[in-house]
Amino acid sequence: MEIFDIFLLEAVLNGILLGGLLALLSLGLNLIFGVIDVVWICYAELIMVGMYAVWLLHAKYAWPLLLAMAAGIALVALLGAVMHQLVIRPVMSAEPINQLLVTGGVLFFLQAAATLAFGIEFRNIGVRMPPIAIGEMSFSLPRIIAFGVAVAGVAATWLFLSRTYMGTAIRAISQDRQIMPLMGVDANRIFVVTSAIGGALAGLGGCLLVLQYDIHPAIGLSFGPITFLICVLGGLGNMLGGLVAAFIFAQFISVGGFFFHIEWGYVIAFAFFIAVMFWRPQGILARRQ
């Protein structure tokens, strides 16, 4: 029984580590939705682009890892801005569902482009880190690093939004998209900046994932659904809700996977999501109307 509890504790702690990472992944998507009111179905594919960029620069062209990561983040940030200008901007006034679908087209495109460029082989950057043992529990170092960086990334985004002029503008436009342009704000510029920040967060997420997982063109499909569901569970656009939801989801996956099989952890998490949607369609932290 003693051993059992130690392993359960390990699963819970691993869940917290995973939660930090999921919180970062969903933050960018949530920010974009909150400000631009468009769900990027292809968000996980941007994360994949970041992972491939780090792999290409570090493993193939032998750049130092941190430099490769910085370049990867910059690349995905640029991609986010380009994506807004080329894909989202033309459909800003279209039906909401068309906006959702157009990003689905981007999903197909990025996934296929990755297959075209890198093949379907699994790639990894070849960085191996020893596990860290605490008592009888052991934790993987990349997970701990990912947790720390993710928390720092979330905090930095928070500070940016609350302390800077641009952040204030972004928060203002997320509260009322109609009125701000009337007050002389160039809404599209704010949208492009937001998309770039969302892209940078995806790039950062990619840098952290690439330390733990192999890369392949379909990897977005394994992180994508869970990222959207976290955002919806927290209430689309509600960033605090998204953070809470990320940790709840991570516990379901980690502890559920401890008691059963890892897929059952996901099944329980998704079933929980569906149930919560019926109970609180506006997200767990939404005020009751």
Partner 1 sequence: MKALAWVGLALLAAVPLTGIGNYPLHLVIMCLLWGYVYTSWSIMGRLGMVSFGHGAFFGIGAYAVVMLWNHFGLSPWIGAVAGVLLSALVAVVIGLPCFRFKIVGHYFALVTLALSEVTRLVIVALRDQTGGSLGTTPNTALAQGNSWSFAALQFSDKTVWFYAILAVWLAGLWVWARVDRSMTRLALEAISQEEDAAASIGINVTRSKLFVTLISAVMTSVGGVLYAQYQLYINPETVSGIGISLQMVFGVIAGGMFVMLGPTVGAVFTLLLAEGLRLALGDNFKDFPALDLAVYGALLVLFIIYMPKGILGAALDRLRRRAPPAVPTPAPAPR
Count residues near partner 1 (CB under 8 A): 49
Minimum CB distance to partner 1, residue 103 (Å): 9
Identified binder of partner 1 from the candidate list 180, 267, 284, 285, rule CB under 8 A: 267
Question: Rounded to an integer, what distance in angstroms lies between the CA atom of residue 245 and that of residue 242?
Answer: 5
Question: Rounded to an integer, what distance in angstroms lies between the CA atom of residue 85 and that of residue 32?
Answer: 14
Question: Rounded to an integer, what distance in angstroms lies between the CA atom of residue 190 and that of residue 35?
Answer: 9
Instruction: Considering the complex, state which of residue 111 and residue 157 has its C-beta at the smaller distance from partner 1.
Output: 111
Q: Does 100 bind partner 1 (CB under 8 A)?
A: yes
Site for partner 1 in 200-239 (CB under 8 A): 217-218, 221, 224-225, 228-229, 232, 236
Q: Does 64 bind partner 1 (CB under 8 A)?
A: no
Q: Write each residue from 72 to 91 as x if it is in contact with partner 1 (CB under 8 A), else as -, in one continuous string.
A: ---------------x--xx
Q: Are 87 and 61 contacting, i.e. CB atoms less than 8 angstroms apart? A: no
Site for partner 1 in 170-189 (CB under 8 A): none
Instruction: Considering the complex, state which of residue 55 and residue 228 has its C-beta at the smaller distance from partner 1.
Output: 228
Question: Residue 134: enclosing H or E segment and its boundaries?
Answer: strand 131-134
Radius of gyration from C-alpha coordinates of the chain: 19
Tell me the residue type at 129.
M
What distance, in Å, lies between the first and last C-alpha atoms of the chain? Answer: 46
Question: Rounded to an integer, what distance in angstroms lies between the CA atom of residue 56 and that of residue 239?
Answer: 32
Instruction: Considering the complex, state which of residue 243 and residue 269 has its C-beta at the smaller distance from partner 1.
Output: 269
Q: Does 286 bind partner 1 (CB under 8 A)?
A: no
Q: Are 242 and 30 contacting, i.e. CB atoms less than 8 angstroms apart? A: yes
Which phi and psi angles does 140 have, rounded to 5°? -80, 135
Backbone dihedral region for residue 105 (phi beyond 0: left; psi -120 to 50: alpha; all else: beta): alpha
Identified binder of partner 1 from the candidate list 130, 274, 287, 288, rule CB under 8 A: 274
Q: Are 217 and 118 contacting, i.e. CB atoms less than 8 angstroms apart? A: yes
Question: Rounded to an integer, what distance in angstroms lies between the CA atom of residue 143 and that of residue 63?
Answer: 23
Q: Does 277 bind partner 1 (CB under 8 A)?
A: yes
Question: Rounded to an integer, what distance in angstroms lies between the CA atom of residue 36 and that of residue 88?
Answer: 9
Instruction: Considering the complex, state which of residue 123 and residue 140 has its C-beta at the smaller distance from partner 1.
Output: 123
Question: Rounded to an integer, what distance in angstroms lies between the CA atom of residue 41 and that of residue 108?
Answer: 10
Instruction: Considering the complex, state which of residue 97 and residue 183 has its C-beta at the smaller distance from partner 1.
Output: 97
Site for partner 1 in 101-130 (CB under 8 A): 101-102, 104-113, 115-116, 119-120
Identified binder of partner 1 from the candidate list 94, 127, 132, 240, rule CB under 8 A: 94
Identified binder of partner 1 from the candidate list 95, 128, 134, 135, rule CB under 8 A: 95
Contact residues for partner 1 (CB under 8 A)? 39, 41, 87, 90-91, 94-98, 100-102, 104-113, 115-116, 119-120, 217-218, 221, 224-225, 228-229, 232, 236, 260-261, 263-264, 266-267, 270-271, 273-274, 277-278, 281
